[in-house]
Amino acid sequence: MELYIHRYIPVTEVEGPGKRFAIWVQGCSIRCKGCAVPWTWVNENGTKMNVENLFEFIKDSKEQNEIEGVTFLGGEPFDQAEALGELGRKVKQLGLTVMTFTGYLYDDLKKQKQNQQLLSVTDLLIDGPFIEEKLDLSRPWVGSSNQNYHFLTDVYKHLETNFHQFQNKIEIRISQNGTISVNGMATKDTLKEILNQHTFKRIRSNT
Ligand code: SF4
């Protein structure tokens, strides 16, 4: 089984509780106005990866980084529900947790057969489209106030009343060739400010 992937990070601490392997799938049929990642909308612009290969990378990360789980985000994970459901099943067998983001509504997803496996392996689901007019970063990991947390298993149930322990953060990675990549949650203005400061410092340190 294959998946269209935008990218993955073997270990991150800003895409859900604890240390996690994060997979951004490629392709989203929802296309919210103001989406922060419109470059993830078209499947063909991504990389096709075999579920088995991705699973091997997750296994390696578990050994090397002691991750507690995997986060599926996008793009739209439920546009590739069957392949992600299969990957999630393997991830759970490894003793890891699964967190899944979706722009669809849980009530609609659970009516469709192809979504059942992915829903059944998901511990924490965050649902709902991003609505620009409802931009709200006060809760961890979500971008607008209409989006909701669904605790589909007991694993993260204790967080239901305890979300204040998490704050939205970003991670910035700088590769050896100077490419900068950012993940996590921040407004576009904050991101611009941080990246400008970084560039400024780099220029100063080079002179
Ligand atoms: S569901 Fe997510 S990836 Fe898709 S358009 Fe909305 S915000 Fe962007």
- Amino acid 174: pLDDT: 86
Same domain, 6 and 43: yes
Same domain, 158 and 197: no
Q: CB of 75 closer than 6 A to ligand 1?
A: yes
Query: How many whole angstroms from 108 Cα to the centroid of ligand 1?
Result: 16
Phi/psi at 144 (5° precision)? -140, 155
Q: CB of 101 closer than 6 A to ligand 1?
A: no
Total domains in the chain come to 2
Return the residue matching tokens 């340190």.
205
Residue nearest to atom 7 of ligand 1 (CA): 35
DSSP, residue by residue, 12-76: ESSSSSSSEEEEEES--SS--TT-S-GGGS-GGGSEEEEHHHHHHHHHHHHHHH---EEEEESS-
Q: CB of 28 closer than 6 A to ligand 1?
A: yes
Same domain, 100 and 30: yes
Same domain, 101 and 160: yes
- Amino acid 162: pLDDT: 82
Q: CB of 72 closer than 6 A to ligand 1?
A: no
Taking the chain (207 residues) in runs of 10, the rounded mean pLDDT of each run is 96 96 98 94 96 98 97 97 98 98 98 98 98 94 95 94 83 86 82 66 46
Same domain, 104 and 157: yes
- Amino acid 206: pLDDT: 43
104 neighbors 30 (Cβ within 8 angstroms): yes
Domain encompassing residue 179: 169-207
- Amino acid 203: pLDDT: 42
Same domain, 90 and 191: no
Residue nearest to atom 6 of ligand 1 (CA): 32
Same domain, 121 and 180: no
Same domain, 52 and 139: yes
Atom of ligand 1 nearest to the CA of 28: 4
Atom of ligand 1 nearest to the CA of 101: 2
Same domain, 109 and 190: no
| Euclidean distance between CA atoms 202 and 137, whole angstroms | 29
| Euclidean distance between CA atoms 196 and 190, whole angstroms | 10
Query: How many whole angstroms from 33 Cα to the centroid of ligand 1?
Result: 8
Same domain, 115 and 155: yes
- In the Cβ-directed half-sphere of 78, how many Cα atoms lie within 13 Å? 28
9 neighbors 183 (Cβ within 8 angstroms): yes
Same domain, 48 and 142: yes
Structure tokens at 63: 């050994």
Report the CATH number at residue 105: 3.20.20.70
Query: How many whole angstroms from 104 Cα to the centroid of ligand 1?
Result: 9
- Amino acid 122: pLDDT: 98
Q: CB of 79 closer than 6 A to ligand 1?
A: no
Same domain, 33 and 18: yes
